[in-house]
């Protein structure tokens, strides 16, 4: 029964079926399944499958956006039922696309996967001025700042932002991603982490902060 | 090694199916030209006279064969009533969207097809076109990338979601965009004469980084065919088609387009580096010109010797196209490329791209 409901949640996230997803979320609560477990083992698992399918070319962005809609609808139902130990302060990620770059579809997928994994994401949007990343990281006491860039022309501002974050908010960790970046470049830029896609971004973020979101 | 033809003679030869002195070079330079003449990149997109002069001087300095034009990928938002910013700040390399004019399906209903004479960047494109015409160069106008334009109007994620949740809304918007592109084509061809014009089309949102080929077939193909057949019907003979980024899965549709248009006119195919030249030759080689697709980021990061080797390889493979080849770059040449790497294109064309 429990497995069936969790699988139902996962499948309806993958197929982007909002109604079914909400139905399974309600069923989960009725069956006494822990809301946190339903989110992690149902919704988040669904998003991981979606992300893997995108990387393999089995799913494309329009379908992913519908999966996201379904996942958020189920989370609305489940979140109010989270037990106190799971509603404690989630880890904060400040995320944005760097100055001069409006390619934000990839960043939005990273945000989605991070939220599914339990991070609180403060989304600064696209074409974000350097100072804004730093100011918000300081103001929010961010655990991680994630910088996305899709162009070789825009990614060059990253070392400057990272340096400033290290100076003004030494505890904040930084990670970078986006088409033209690589582990080598990330290292050269002084970033603490690099991820090539959205599901890897979650793994890297988790490993940076030593475990759970 | 000396060139024996002028850029105009060289291009004319390729278009007529003859062999020029060497392969022509079109490095897909936009923002880079501003850097070369020491202008802010914003001027390249906002000031037609400065833009024309920068593009002309850059081409003259290197000796490449492209002539000035006006196009950018965020096209559509401003033209349909939204707002774009011009890239004057450090780090910015092309116009960027500040406000999308469409936020809801109701907005799509209310959206009016703008008058091309006044719409957004079209007056700037027209000024550049006039300068090209006065200087006996081909007039290039942007026409055809319906889905990218619709995405710029409605915000990409919203439009992509509508493709599944509300496909009729996307079709409604696409129809208006297609109508606009046809009006733009009429405006340019009636001003200069169709024989003086060349259409440029190419959109990143059509790429398989975002949509699957079935979605391309439903939301792109019919509109592309409609616009292209109108443009060819107006008497425009050359279409420069740039399927941006990875469009390998869409390739059968591009072939279908050419077949259904009766292989009319001459297409210059400018695919991204993801599509092997051999595949392009197989698909279009009997009729159309292939533009090379050297990897753009390599111009920014690799050494002169490495870029030269990439250009040589591209020439050796592309020159086999029976209907002509132009050495080119797979998308816009990065504006931050070291100037010497652009010279690699010229050196390669002169040393490895000579016709006997
Ligand atoms: C913090 O941690 C992390 C971790 C992982 C992270 C991360 C952060 N951020 C991303 N990831 C990773 O996870 C994501 C999910 O798996 C992945 O994100 P991606 O973004 O890679 O993947 C997305 C899910 C899908 N991919 C995308 O959304 C990008 C697709 C391509 C085709 C693309 C698109 C769609 C667009 N574009 Co343009 N565009 C291209 C792109 C080609 C390409 N090969 O990427 C690229 C990036 N564009 C390019 C160019 C040149 C331009 N574009 C432009 C405009 C546009 C559109 C607006 C039309 C549109 C973007 C719409 C939008 N709102 O996002 C212009 C710039 C506008 C601006 N000011 O920013 C313009 C400059 C063209 C012009 N002259 O006008 C090229 C850049 C070349 C370079 N120098 O590096 C380009 C590579 C195309 C090419 N083949 O050359 C990973 O990278």
Q: What pLDDT, on the 0 to 100 scale, is given for residue B144? A: 84
- In whole angstroms, what separates CA B17 from the centre of its chain? 21
For residue A147, give the 3-state DSSP assignment.
strand
B148: CATH: 3.20.20.210
CA distance B186 to A55: 42
Structural domains counted in chain A: 2
Distance in Å, CA B280 to ligand 1 centroid: 24
First to last CA, chain B: 14
Q: What pLDDT, on the 0 to 100 scale, is given for residue A213? A: 55
CA distance B45 to A205: 39
For residue B1, give the 3-state DSSP assignment.
coil
Q: Give domain status of residue A196, yes or no.
A: yes
A98: CATH: 3.40.50.280
- Residue B214 is encoded by which pair of tokens? 């079935």
Residue-range definition of the domain harbouring residue A8: 2-81
Q: At what angle do helices B167-192 and B156-165 cross, to 10 degrees?
A: 120
Q: What pLDDT, on the 0 to 100 scale, is given for residue B139? A: 97
Count of residues in chain A: 213
Residues of chain A found within 8 Å of residue B31, distances taken between Cβ atoms:
153
Residues of chain B found within 8 Å of residue A63, distances taken between Cβ atoms:
164
CA geometry: angle at B252 spanning B226 and B73, to 5°? 60
Does one domain contain both A128 and A44?
no
Q: How distant is the Cα of A62 from the closest Cα of chain B, in angstroms?
A: 5
Average pLDDT, chain B: 97
CB contact under 8 A, A102 and B165: no
CB neighbour list of residue B354: distance below 8 Å, 6 or more residues apart: B1, B21, B22
Q: What are phi and psi of B197, to 5 degrees?
A: -105, 155
A39: CATH: 1.10.1240.10
CA distance B42 to B85: 9
Q: What pLDDT, on the 0 to 100 scale, is given for residue A211? A: 57
CB neighbour list of residue A211: distance below 8 Å, 6 or more residues apart: none
Of the residues A57, A81, A105, which one is the last residue of a structural domain?
A81
Q: Give domain status of residue B2, yes or no.
A: no
Query: What ranges make up the beta strands (E) of B176-236?
Result: 197-201
What's the pLDDT tens digit per position in A77-97?
998 998 866 666 679 999 999
Q: Give domain status of residue B153, yes or no.
A: yes
Give B70-73's long-range contacts (Cβ < 8 A, gap of 24+). Answer: B70/B45, B70/B121, B70/B124, B70/B125, B70/B128, B70/B129, B70/B140, B70/B142, B71/B30, B71/B125, B71/B140, B71/B142, B71/B200, B71/B202, B72/B30, B72/B45, B72/B121, B73/B148, B73/B203, B73/B204, B73/B244
CA distance A14 to A51: 10
Does one domain contain both A37 and A126?
no
Q: Give domain status of residue B179, yes or no.
A: yes
Q: Give domain status of residue B242, yes or no.
A: yes
CB contact under 8 A, A153 and B335: yes
Closest CA to B331 of B282, B281, B297, B285: B297
Q: What pLDDT, on the 0 to 100 scale, is given for residue A83? A: 80
Q: Give domain status of residue A32, yes or no.
A: yes
Burial class (CB in 10 A: 0-12, 13-18, 19+), A30: exposed
Residue-range definition of the domain harbouring residue B258: 7-352
Which ipTM was obtained for this model? 0.95
Q: What pLDDT, on the 0 to 100 scale, is given for residue B224? A: 97
CA distance B241 to B224: 11
- Residue A175 is encoded by which pair of tokens? 């990670």
Does one domain contain both A49 and A127?
no
Does one domain contain both A112 and A77?
no
What are the pLDDT tens digits along chain A (213 aa)? Answer: 899 999 999 999 999 999 999 999 999 999 999 999 999 999 999 999 999 999 899 999 999 999 999 999 999 999 899 886 666 667 999 999 999 999 999 999 999 999 988 899 999 999 999 999 999 999 999 999 999 999 999 999 999 999 999 999 999 999 999 999 999 999 999 999 999 999 899 999 999 988 555
CB B26 within 8 A of CB B58: no
For residue B6, give the 3-state DSSP assignment.
coil
Of the residues A50, A81, A112, which one is the last residue of a structural domain?
A81
Q: What pLDDT, on the 0 to 100 scale, is given for residue B258? A: 98
Residue of chain A with shortest Cα separation from B211: A60
Chain B residues with CB within 8 Å of chain A CB: 31, 74, 87, 89-93, 96-97, 156-157, 160-161, 163-165, 208-212, 215, 296-297, 300-301, 334-336
CA distance A161 to A130: 6
Burial class (CB in 10 A: 0-12, 13-18, 19+), B323: middle
Ligand 1 in reach of B94 Cβ (< 6 A): yes
Q: Give domain status of residue A114, yes or no.
A: yes
Count of residues in chain B: 356
Does one domain contain both A57 and A161?
no
Q: What pLDDT, on the 0 to 100 scale, is given for residue A174? A: 98
Closest CA to B309 of B347, B339, B271, B336: B347
| Helix (H) or strand (E) run with residue A120 in it | strand A120-123
CB B198 within 8 A of CB B228: no
Q: What pLDDT, on the 0 to 100 scale, is given for residue B1? A: 63
Q: Give domain status of residue B31, yes or no.
A: yes
For residue B286, give the 3-state DSSP assignment.
coil
Burial class (CB in 10 A: 0-12, 13-18, 19+), A13: buried
CB contact under 8 A, B163 and A152: no
Does one domain contain both A188 and A142?
yes
Burial class (CB in 10 A: 0-12, 13-18, 19+), B284: buried
CB neighbour list of residue A30: distance below 8 Å, 6 or more residues apart: none
Structural domains counted in chain B: 1
Ligand 1 in reach of B144 Cβ (< 6 A): no
Closest CA to B155 of B212, B242, B76: B76
Does one domain contain both A116 and A76?
no
Q: What pLDDT, on the 0 to 100 scale, is given for residue A85? A: 67
Of the residues A58, A81, A104, which one is the last residue of a structural domain?
A81
Which residue numbers in chain B have pLDDT < 70?
1
Q: What pLDDT, on the 0 to 100 scale, is given for residue B233? A: 97
CB B154 within 8 A of CB B163: no
Q: Give domain status of residue B1, yes or no.
A: no
């Amino acid at each position: 029964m429990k497995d069936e409901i969790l699988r139902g949640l996962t499948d309806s996230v993958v197929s982007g079926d909002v109604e079914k997803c909400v139905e399974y979320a309600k069923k989960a609560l009725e069956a006494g399944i822990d809301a946190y477990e339903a989110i992690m083992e149902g919704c988040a698992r669904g998003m991981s499958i979606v992300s893997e399918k995108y990387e393999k070319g089995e799913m494309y962005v329009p379908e992913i956006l519908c999966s996201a809609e379904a996942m958020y609808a189920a989370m609305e139902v489940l979140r109010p039922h989270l037990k106190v130990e799971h509603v404690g302060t989630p880890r904060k990620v400040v995320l944005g696309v760097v100055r001069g770059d409006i390619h934000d579809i990839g960043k939005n997928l990273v945000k989605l996967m991070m939220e599914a994994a339990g991070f609180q994401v403060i989304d600064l949007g696209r074409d974000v001025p350097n100072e804004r990343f730093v100011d918000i990281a300081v103001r929010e006491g961010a655990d991680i700042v994630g910088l996305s860039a899709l162009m070789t022309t825009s990614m060059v501002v990253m070392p400057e932002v990272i340096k400033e974050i290290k100076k003004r908010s030494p505890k904040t960790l930084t990670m970078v991603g986006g088409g033209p970046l690589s582990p080598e470049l990330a290292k050269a830029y002084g970033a603490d982490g690099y991820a090539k896609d959205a599901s890897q971004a979650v793994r890297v973020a988790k490993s940076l902060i030593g475990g759970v979101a | 090694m000396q060139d024996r033809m002028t850029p105009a003679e060289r291009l004319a030869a390729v278009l007529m199916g003859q062999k020029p002195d060497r392969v022509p070079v079109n490095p897909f330079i936009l923002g880079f030209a501003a850097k070369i003449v020491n202008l802010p990149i914003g001027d390249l997109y906002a000031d037609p006279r400065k833009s024309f002069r920068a593009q002309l001087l850059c081409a003259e300095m290197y000796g490449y064969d492209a002539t000035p034009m006006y196009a950018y990928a965020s096209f559509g938002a401003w033209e349909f009533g939204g707002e774009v910013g011009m890239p004057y700040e450090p780090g910015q390399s092309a116009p960027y969207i500040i406000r999308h004019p469409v936020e809801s399906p109701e907005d799509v209903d209310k959206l009016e097809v703008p008058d091309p004479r006044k719409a957004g960047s079209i007056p700037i494109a027209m000024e550049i076109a006039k300068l090209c015409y006065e200087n006996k160069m081909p007039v290039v106008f942007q026409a055809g990338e319906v889905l990218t334009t619709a995405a710029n109007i409605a915000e990409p994620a919203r439009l992509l979601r509508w493709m599944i949740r509300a496909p009729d809304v996307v079709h409604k918007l696409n129809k208006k965009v297609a109508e606009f592109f046809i009006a733009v084509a009429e405006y340019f061809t009636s001003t200069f004469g169709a024989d003086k014009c060349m259409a440029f089309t190419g959109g990143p949102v059509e790429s398989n980084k975002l949509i699957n080929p079935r979605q391309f077939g439903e939301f792109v193909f019919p509109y592309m065919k409609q616009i292209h057949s109108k443009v060819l019907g107006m008497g425009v003979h050359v279409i420069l088609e740039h399927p941006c980024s990875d469009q390998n899965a869409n390739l059968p549709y591009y072939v279908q387009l050419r077949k259904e248009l009766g292989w009319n006119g001459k297409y210059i195919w400018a695919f991204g580096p993801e599509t092997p030249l051999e595949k392009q030759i197989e698909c279009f080689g009997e009729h159309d010109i292939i533009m090379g697709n050297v990897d753009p980021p390599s111009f920014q990061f690799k050494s002169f010797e490495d870029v030269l080797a990439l250009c040589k390889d591209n020439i050796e493979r592309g020159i086999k196209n029976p209907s002509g080849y132009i050495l080119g770059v797979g998308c816009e040449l990065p504006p931050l490329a070291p100037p010497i790497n652009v010279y690699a294109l010229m050196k390669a064309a002169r040393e490895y791209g000579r016709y006997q």
